[in-house]
Amino acid sequence: MVASSNMHGLLRAATLTSLGHRLVAPPRRLYWRIFAPTRVGVRVIATIDDDSLNVILVRHAGGDRWYLPGGGVRRRELLADAAVRELREETGVEVASKDCRLASVHTSFFEGKSDHIVLYSTIAPRTWAHQTSSGEIADVAAFPIDDLPRQTSPGARRRLDELRHGASPDAVW
């Protein structure tokens, strides 16, 4: 009975988190359009260390798209350290900063934002936690790079296509 009660509490918390994200998103978009702060963020292409080319993606709470793990850079934080932290927080994957390779730098003006995204690549261990310490992430999974889910975000899909085909990265995310 205790496990059932705990599960009910977890489901309720997840529902409230999803609802909170949907309520906060419209005012945030308006703020970005008016003030357009310039932000720097990181994303990580984490491929599994095995014979297949599987990439780790995350799905945010309240959303249905799959994204590359990543997020904002904290004040006085090195970019590679931010990539390692975001990967760990969103997926449970532990890697060292020295194992993250700078892949490319992009700009996004989506939703009126002025974002600069620094993309890193790394190899994730064959076994990893498949867990998140972030309430913003609803799911984390690995997918074959040549068979991504239909709901993969356009930016993530473009970056992974560039990787697959050895193409030069586009400056726009």
Q: What is the tens place of the pLDDT at every residue in 48-65?
A: 988 888 999 999 998 999
Query: pTM (2 decimals)?
Result: 0.78
Give the whole-angstrom CA distance, residue 69 versus residue 89: 9
If one compares 155 and 19, the residue with the highest pLDDT of the two is 155
Q: Judging by DSSP bridges, how do beta strands 101-108 and 114-124 pair with one another? A: antiparallel
User: For residues 111 and 126, what is the distance between their CA atoms, to the nearest angstrom?
Assistant: 36
pLDDT in tens, 13-52: 445 456 666 677 778 777 767 776 788 999 999 999 888 8
Going from N- to C-terminal start, the domains of the chain cover: 2-165
Q: CATH class for domain 2-165?
A: alpha beta
Q: Which of 6-10, 88-92, 131-135 has the lowest mean pLDDT?
A: 6-10
Structure token pair of residue 26 = 């419209």
Other beta carbons within 10 Å of 19:
12
- Residues 98 and 84: their CA atoms lie apart, in Å, by 10
Kindly state the tokens that stand for 49.
Answer: 């260390």
The whole-chain average pLDDT of the chain stands at: 86
pLDDT score, position 72: 96
The pLDDT of 74-99, averaged and rounded, is 96
